Homo-oligomer: A and B are copies of this chain.
Amino acid sequence: MSLSAKHRVAVLGASGYTGAELLRLLLTHPHVEIAALTADRHVGKDIAEVFPQFLDVGLPRLVSVDAVPFDSIDAVFCCLPHGTTQDIIKGIRTDHPTVRVFDLSADFRLQDVELYAKWYGEHRAPALQPEAVYGLVEVNRDKIRTAMLVAVPGCYPTSAQLPLYPLLKAGKILTEDIIVDAKSGVSGAGRSAKEGSLFTEVTEGIHAYGVANHRHRPEIEQGLSWAAGQPVVISFTPHLMPMSRGILSTMYVKLAPGVTADDLRTTLAQAYAGEPFVKVLPAGQAPQTRHVRGTNRLHIGVFADTLPGRAIVFGAEDNLTKGASGQALQCFNVAFGLPETLGLSGLALFP
Contact = CB atoms under 8 A, between A and B. Distances in A.
30 contacts: A17-B351, A20-B350, A27-B345, A28-B345, A51-B291, A55-B291, A55-B299, A176-B307, A177-B310, A186-B198, A191-B195, A191-B198, A193-B193, A193-B194, A193-B197, A198-B198, A204-B245, A204-B246, A204-B293, A205-B288, A206-B246, A209-B286, A212-B305, A235-B252, A235-B307, A235-B310, A241-B242, A241-B243, A242-B242, A242-B243
Interface string A176-209: 1101010101110001111101111111111111
Interface of A: 17, 20, 24, 27-28, 51-57, 176-177, 179, 181, 183, 185-187, 191-195, 197-209, 211-212, 217, 233-237, 239, 241-246, 248, 250, 252, 279, 281, 285-295, 299, 301, 303-307, 310, 312, 314, 316, 320, 345-351
Nearest to A20: B350
A196 B351 CA distance: 12
B55 A206 contact: no
Most chain B CB atoms below 10 A, which of A204, A236, A287 = A204
B234 A177 contact: no
A348 B54 CA distance: 8
A248 to B, nearest CB: 5
A347 B205 CA distance: 15
Nearest to A179: B252
A129 B289 CA distance: 41
Contacts of A193: 193-195, 197-198
A143 B244 CA distance: 41
A202 B252 CA distance: 24
A347 B191 contact: no
Given A243-B242, A252-B235, A306 B212 contact: yes
Given A177-B177, A250-B237, A286 B204 contact: no
B316 A207 contact: yes
Given A52-B291, A198-B193, A306 B207 contact: no
A192 B292 CA distance: 22
A82 B179 CA distance: 35
Nearest to A284: B211
Given A198-B199, A205-B289, A207-B286, 10 more contacts: A28-B345, A28-B346, A53-B295, A53-B347, A193-B194, A203-B242, A204-B204, A206-B246, A208-B248, A208-B314
Contact of A294 (B28, B177, B234, B349): B349
A30 to B, nearest CB: 11
Nearest to A246: B205
Contact of A53 (B20, B244, B306, B348): B348
B199 A244 contact: yes
A236 B306 contact: yes
Contacts of A217: 306
Contacts of A17: 200, 351
Contacts of A243: 203-206, 241-242
B53 A287 contact: no
A96 B217 CA distance: 57
A198 B201 CA distance: 9
A235 B52 contact: no
